[in-house]
Copies of this chain bind each other. A is one copy, B any other.
């Protein structure tokens, strides 16, 4: 199973990087999963052309085409998704088809990026993906991780497990059917 993790913001000083690294660590605990971080910083393109001939599109395609599922870790900005994440998702199309996607929301406040996740679910359905129900909400991000980047609330490990179980169920079901 290859399940990459997309870090959805390119902003300097991004807090979501802590959450993404935590998610990466939790996913790596499952030895059946191969994973890596995909950073939206590497896919910003001034042209934002949709012809899929851009080098950024080819690079993204090479990863997504072999993915069995995807995890998106992203902050919520003004109740929506970061622009650079959307630019990246709009780069390619068919490679996303029939793959399950799980969301991890990040927020400075207490609502864990829930509204951003709702908007993104509408987007990924158009990409023919399967947005799963289980999600992880990283609220109050600044205090959730300590100075060393360690999570301070151990209950997140269980939440990650619930999400991964569902994601893997769909990844297997859809791979088998594909």
Residue positions of A touching B, CB distance < 8 A: 9-13, 44, 46-50, 77-90, 110-112, 114-115, 118-123, 125-128, 130-133, 137, 139, 169, 172-174, 176-177
Contact = CB atoms under 8 A, between A and B. Distances in A.
A11 to B, nearest CB: 5
B121 A126 contact: no
A29 B128 CA distance: 25
B84 A83 contact: yes
Contacts of A118: 79, 115, 118, 122
Most buried by B among A11, A89, A132: A11
Contacts of A120: 80
B173 A126 contact: no
**Chain A's interface: helix, strand, loop or mixed, by majority?**
mixed
A87 B9 CA distance: 11
Given A82-B86, A176-B177, A115 B125 contact: no
B123 A137 contact: no
A110 B136 CA distance: 12
A169 B13 CA distance: 36
Contact of A173 (B111, B114, B123, B174): B174
A10 B48 contact: yes
Given A78-B89, A119-B122, 9 more contacts: A11-B47, A11-B48, A78-B127, A80-B123, A83-B88, A111-B114, A114-B115, A125-B132, A173-B176
A81 B86 contact: yes
B11 A50 contact: yes
A90 B85 CA distance: 13
Contacts of A13: 49
